[in-house]
Amino acid sequence: MSAAFDPPALRAPSEAERLARVALARVAEPGSHEVYLALQQLPAEQVWDAVREGAPLGALGERALAGLAGRVAGYDPERDLERVRSLGGRVLCPGDPEWPEGVVWPLGSMGGEVKQMAPPWVLFAHGPAHLRDACQSSVSVVGARAATAYGAAVTGELSFALAESGVAIVSGAAYGIDGAAHRAALAAGSAPTLAVLAGGLDVPYPRGHDRLITQVAENGLVITEVPPGCSVTRMRFLVRNRLVAALSRGTLVVEAALRSGSLSTAGRALDLGRPVMAVPGPVTSAQSAGCHALIRAGKAVLVSEASEVLEVIAAMGEHLLRPARGAVHPRDGLPEAVRRLLDAVPVRLPVGVARIARTAGVSTLLVQQALPSLLAAGLVEQRDGGWRLTALGWGRPEKPPPPQ
């Protein structure tokens, strides 16, 4: 390593470095360990020169270079840079003000599958939102492509409420849950939505969502690790999932089958130490089986409303929820003996004090002392020289007592 070289994350990138990182994104697949490690050791321009010349350098050995050689011949990175800018996009590198904090993690063979995949070294972005700012308060919303009406409705409600609360919604622009999350965030209009693509900025996928992706680019941000013109592949989808997880403070899974790419995103979030949340569904729904498995294994927090999501992803001490409780009834705070007394008061036909005391198994004096307070609380009433329960007293205030 050159003594004069500063790690790229500590200084603003030059245009030469930006161009070199674009070139490396074209010839190497996202998540390449060799390229990422070389960029940690040497300036990007020097790494690109080594790749172009086929000369082993740093972490780039002969085998790695041989795998990249076929994409180098005749390639001019200026064309990619011009294409990005003609699309209205921009190239983000470590050291840029927009570069998000969360996309750095340690490499290694232990501690999770995401550590088998290197962090990004460049991002291509299109849209007015500021990536780093958006990621400060964000949640990834992922789930089944073949979403049920239940899943789409829950996703819309949660995403809309979260966006209204200022939380950026991150997803992958796919059919089903992804699309429902983006649309709800766009409808809320209070926080940006981020669509992370597996292909280039000019390769909207799925094609049926090209208009949705355009709307995201107009109001939020579309992001990818690959240059323009790059098509989607199965592997790029899997690698993309780690970026979806890394750009947010937590991942929310709404509907996922037992074999689902959404569970891959949840796994990457867990590898990164980010919280995972899951929405429960009907026990008979195969589309919710993956969510139930996450919850049962203790890997996900069960959530059912936006406030619960906010509590999970918020900083310590923020958005704290009170424990959920059922409705409070006037009977709840009464002493046990008085509750027994109240149980002995009939619903329809009024009875006297002695009858109440005998039925309740308490003294007549206690009944005489308790009835005035129960009357004031609206739990009993006097009728025809006796006592009976009111609608509130017998626990059904929405309905009058049955007719006599």
pLDDT, one tens digit per residue, over 191-237 is 999 999 999 999 999 999 999 999 999 999 999 999 999 999 999 99
Domain assignments of the chain as residue spans, ordered by start: 8-79, 101-313, 330-389
Asked whether residue 49 carries a pLDDT value surpassing 90, the answer given is: yes
Asked whether residue 163 carries a pLDDT value surpassing 80, the answer given is: yes
Checking 342-349 for CB contacts under 8 A at 24+ apart, the result is 342/374, 342/379, 342/380, 342/389, 342/393, 345/380, 345/387, 345/388, 345/389, 345/393, 346/388, 346/389, 347/388, 347/389, 347/394, 347/401, 347/402, 348/388, 348/401, 348/402, 348/404, 349/386, 349/388, 349/404
Tokens at residue 81, please? 């840079």
Other C-beta atoms lying within 10 Å of the C-beta of residue 296: 10
Which amino acid, 119?
A: P
pLDDT tens digits, one per residue of 271-309? 999 999 999 999 999 999 999 999 999 999 999 999 999
Asked whether residue 372 carries a pLDDT value surpassing 80, the answer given is: yes
In this structure, what DSSP letter does residue 278 have? E
Tokens at residue 122, please? 């460049």
Sheet holding 301-302, edge to edge: 90-92, 123-126, 221-224, 193-196, 168-171, 138-143, 251-254, 276-279, 301-302
Q: Quick one: what percent of the chain has pLDDT higher than 90?
A: 69
Q: How confident is the model at residue 115 (pLDDT cuts 50, 70, 90)?
A: confident
So what's the pLDDT on residue 4? 40
Fold of the CATH domain 101-313: Rossmann fold (3.40.50)
Asked whether residue 6 carries a pLDDT value surpassing 50, the answer given is: no
Q: Are strands 138-143 and 251-254 parallel, antiparallel or unpaired?
A: parallel
pLDDT tens digits, one per residue of 380-403? 899 888 999 998 887 765 554 555
Q: What is the mean pLDDT of residues 141-156?
A: 96
So what's the pLDDT on residue 111? 63
* Residues facing 138 on adjacent strands: 168
- Selection from 98, 163, 97 nearest residue 125 by Cα: 98
Asked whether residue 98 carries a pLDDT value surpassing 80, the answer given is: yes
Average pLDDT in the chain = 89
So what's the pLDDT on residue 112? 73
Q: Token pair 């199965």 is at which residue?
A: 234
pLDDT tens digits, one per residue of 134-143? 999 999 999 9
Mapped onto helix, strand or coil, the DSSP state of residue 157 is helix
Q: Are strands 193-196 and 221-224 parallel, antiparallel or unpaired?
A: parallel
So what's the pLDDT on residue 321? 58
- List b or e across 9-39, with b for residues whose CB sees 16 or more CB atoms inside 10 angstroms: eeeebeeebbbbbbbbbbbbbbbbebbbbbb
The whole-model pTM stands at 0.81
Bond before 206 cis per omega within 30 degrees = yes
Q: How confident is the model at residue 70 (pLDDT cuts 50, 70, 90)?
A: confident
* Residues facing 141 on adjacent strands: 252
Strands (E), 85-242: 90-92, 123-126, 138-143, 168-171, 193-196, 221-224
| Angle of CA points 249, 188, 299, to nearest 5° | 30
Cβ pair 50, 35 in contact under 8 A:
no
So what's the pLDDT on residue 9? 45
Q: What is the mean pLDDT of residues 335-353?
A: 89
Mapped onto helix, strand or coil, the DSSP state of residue 25 is helix
Q: What is the mean pLDDT of residues 313-317?
A: 70
| Virtual torsion, Cα 342, 347, 350, 354, nearest 10 deg | -30
So what's the pLDDT on residue 395? 72
Cα–Cα distance measured from residue 55 to residue 39, given in angstroms and rounded to the nearest whole number? 15
Other C-beta atoms lying within 10 Å of the C-beta of residue 6: 10
Does 330-389 carry CATH code 3.30.360.10?
A: no
Cα–Cα distance measured from residue 285 to residue 146, given in angstroms and rounded to the nearest whole number? 12
So what's the pLDDT on residue 8? 45
Q: What is the mean pLDDT of residues 363-373?
A: 90
More confident residue, 323 or 15: 15
Q: What is the mean pLDDT of residues 167-181?
A: 97
So what's the pLDDT on residue 74? 84
